[in-house]
């Protein structure tokens, strides 16, 4: 039920890289805008910063895992992240790539769906982990 840690890290790296490449292309070639208001002022002015986001996201994810693994199994955390990210974030870049522009309002909806999916998965994974031990 849980992904191996290595697989989760590979998937997260792929998702983060995909998002940065599509966002870079959207901002530099398509006149797009960054939806993340925290990084928008920086990456829209200096789009190459998107590629610094990949290691920054990986470091942030690693630190979050270090913090949470005191309470939750690391495989559950990583599998949850590997489920959440493509639903809540990469899906918007995929829509943009397929030509659906101006759909920024969907970001909140995809985030809610991502949270819902990981809460259900996390609950089931924690129940199964308790039964095993």
Q: What is the pTM of this model?
A: 0.89
Return all residues near 48 (Cβ < 8 A) that are at least 6 apart.
24
Domain coordinates in residue numbering, the chain: 5-132
> Regarding predicted confidence, which is higher, 48 or 33?
48
Band of residue 29 on the pLDDT scale cut at 50, 70, 90: very high
Say how many CA atoms lie within 13 Å of 100 toward its Cβ. Answer: 11
């Amino acid at each position: 039920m849980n992904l191996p840690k290595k697989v989760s890290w590979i998937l997260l790296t792929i998702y983060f890289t995909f998002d940065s490449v599509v966002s870079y292309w959207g901002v530099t070639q398509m006149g797009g805008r960054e939806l993340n208001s925290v990084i928008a002022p920086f990456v829209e002015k200096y789009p190459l910063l998107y590629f610094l986001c990949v290691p920054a996201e990986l470091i942030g994810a690693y630190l979050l895992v270090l913090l949470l693994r005191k309470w939750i199994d690391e495989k559950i955390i990583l599998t949850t992240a590997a489920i959440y990210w493509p639903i809540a974030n990469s899906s918007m870049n995929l829509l943009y790539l397929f030509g659906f522009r101006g759909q920024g309002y969907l970001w909140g909806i995809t985030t809610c769906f991502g949270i819902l999916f990981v809460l259900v998965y996390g609950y089931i994974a924690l129940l199964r982990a308790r039964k095993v031990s």
